[in-house]
C-alpha cells in the first residue's frame, strides 16, 4: 500500500489537514503522528480490527498492553474505575505532558489494550497536533510508539518512513518531538514507577510527597 505523508504546522495545525487524518482514524486506518515525547502509531482504541492491525504492523506480542492518549480528564475518567487522590495530584501536575498513568480499567476498555491485566495506561500529550487529532477523531487513540517492537524510538518522520512506510495509511509530519524520550509510566494502583522517562522519579515523589517503588 502507498502511505501518504501529510505535512502539518506543529504550532498551528491546519483544521482541514487534521480532519483528513481524523477521517482515516474513523475509517479504521493507521495514522502516525507526533506527540511531545515520540512519534506515535494511532488507531481508534475502540476499533478492534484496527488495534489488531496495529499489533501486526509493530510486530508486537499481544501479551504487552497498549496505552491510550486522550484529550482531557473527562475522556480519561470514561475509561477507568476511579481517580484516587494521588492520581488526581499527578494528573493535575503533569497533564498534558509526558506521564502515563496506569489505572484499573473499567468494562468499557477492550481487553486487548490491557493484555487482560485489567489495567490501562492513559496520558494527555502536550502536543497541539496530537491533541487536535484526538479531538477531531472523537475517540481515544492508541499511544504506542511508531516503530517495530524492540527498535529505536522514532524521533522524526525520516526514521518512521524508513521503517513503516507502506504499512500504515497516513504519516503526519508535524516536526520533531520536543522531548525525544518516552513518557514516564507510573502504576497508580500499586504506586510503582514502571518506566522512568521524561519525568524523573524524584519529581514524581516530590509531587506525591512520599517515596514510591
What per-residue confidence (pLDDT) applies to 211? 85
Look up the pTM and report it. 0.96
**Residue 75: what pLDDT?**
96
Which residues are CB-contacts of 135 (< 8 A; sequence separation ≥ 6)? Answer: 71
| CA–CA dist 35, 174 (Å, integer) | 9
Taking only the tens place, the pLDDT of each residue in 1-41 is 899 999 999 999 999 999 999 999 999 999 999 999 999 99
pLDDT of residue 154: 86
Question: In this structure, are residues 72 and 80 in contact, taking their beta carbons and an 8 Å threshold?
Answer: no
d(CA 6, CA 47): 23
CA pair distance 138, 155, nearest whole angstrom: 26
Q: pLDDT tens across 158-175, in order?
A: 999 999 999 999 999 999
In 59-156, where does DSSP find H-type helix?
73-77, 85-94, 111-114, 128-137
Alpha helix ranges (H) inside 40-165: 48-58, 73-77, 85-94, 111-114, 128-137, 157-164
d(CA 154, CA 163): 9
Q: Which CATH class is domain 4-208?
A: alpha beta
- What does each of the 213 residues of the chain score in pLDDT, given as a tens digit? 899 999 999 999 999 999 999 999 999 999 999 999 999 999 999 999 999 999 999 999 989 999 999 999 999 999 999 999 999 999 999 999 999 999 999 999 999 999 999 999 999 999 999 999 999 999 999 999 999 998 998 888 999 999 999 999 999 999 999 999 999 999 999 999 999 999 999 999 999 998 887
- CA geometry: angle 24, 58, 143, nearest 5 deg: 60
Amino acid at each position: 500500500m502507498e502511505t501518504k505523508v501529510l505535512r502539518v504546522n506543529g504550532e498551528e495545525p491546519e483544521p482541514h489537514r487534521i480532519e483528513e487524518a481524523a477521517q482515516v482514524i474513523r475509517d479504521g486506518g493507521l495514522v502516525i503522528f507526533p506527540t511531545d515525547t515520540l512519534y506515535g502509531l494511532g488507531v481508534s482504541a475502540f476499533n478492534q480490527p484496527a488495534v489488531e492491525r496495529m499489533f501486526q504492523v509493530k510486530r508486537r506480542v499481544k501479551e504487552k498492553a497498549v496505552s491510550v492518549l486522550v484529550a482531557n480528564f473527562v475522556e480519561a475518567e470514561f475509561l477507568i474505575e476511579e481517580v484516587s487522590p494521588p492520581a488526581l495530584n499527578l494528573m493535575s501536575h503533569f497533564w498534558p505532558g509526558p506521564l502515563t498513568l496506569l489505572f484499573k480499567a473499567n468494562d468499557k476498555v477492550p481487553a486487548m489494550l490491557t493484555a487482560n491485566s485489567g489495567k490501562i495506561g492513559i496520558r494527555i500529550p502536550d502536543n497541539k497536533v496530537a491533541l487536535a487529532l484526538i479531538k477531531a477523531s472523537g475517540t481515544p487513540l492508541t499511544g504506542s510508539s511508531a516503530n517495530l517492537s524492540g527498535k529505536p524510538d522514532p524521533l522524526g518522520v525520516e526514521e518512521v518512513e524508513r521503517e513503516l512506510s507502506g504499512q500504515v495509511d497516513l504519516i503526519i509530519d508535524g516536526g520533531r518531538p520536543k522531548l525525544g524520550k518516552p513518557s514516564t509510566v507510573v502504576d497508580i494502583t500499586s504506586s510503582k514507577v514502571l518506566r522512568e522517562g521524561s519525568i524523573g522519579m524524584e519529581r514524581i515523589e516530590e509531587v506525591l510527597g512520599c517515596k514510591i517503588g
